[in-house]
Amino acid sequence: MSFLQIIYAPNEIFTQKAQPVEEVDDEVRDVLQMMFKTLEIENGIGLGANMVGFLNRMIVVDWFDGGERFAMVNPEITYKSEETQEFEEASLSFPGISAKITRPKKIKVKYLDEQGKEQSKEAEGFLATLIQHEIDYLDGVVFLDYLSKLKRERLLKKMDKHMKKYPPHIHGKHCNH
């Protein structure tokens, strides 16, 4: 099975809003499976489609510690609790940095599953944060956008140094995956 290359910041794709998927067909299912494979290779737990170059409203979650594995097509948050929580967030597209972000503690999401059937999901705790983080990507928002300009600039400089010291692995024909 194929996988997809992670897009690294800075990249204008992270400021663009993803478009709704008109139909969940074999092509969409293939992209979702490649997104899952990419998560596996990169040791990630969530991925928005624009993180791998698609401006479509699709996310995948494979949170092994939480026992959750699902795809969401056209996810829409229909409820956010007033109660908030704070978690350290990071991203495959922003290597070497993380930040504490405050988000609603509980959410409800409606979406289409891999068969195109309408579903809804309630989430709380870290899973709620994870889903919100990935849906933000689809809306042209990244976790750094929740920080002050000064803190964001410091983290981006830190990421720059990290990427120079540890260049990201660009997948190609010489990979072992």
Residue 98, both tokens: 């993380």
Query: Cβ distance 97 to 89 under 8 Å?
Result: no
Residue 177, both tokens: 């995956």
Q: Is 23 a catalytic residue?
A: no
Dist CA 151 CA 144 (whole Å)? 8
Dist CA 155 CA 140 (whole Å)? 19
- The amino acid at residue 40 is E
Q: Which of 22, 68, 86, 134 is catalytic?
A: 134
Query: Cβ distance 5 to 53 under 8 Å?
Result: yes
Query: Cβ distance 59 to 131 under 8 Å?
Result: yes
Task: Report the catalytic residues.
Answer: 134
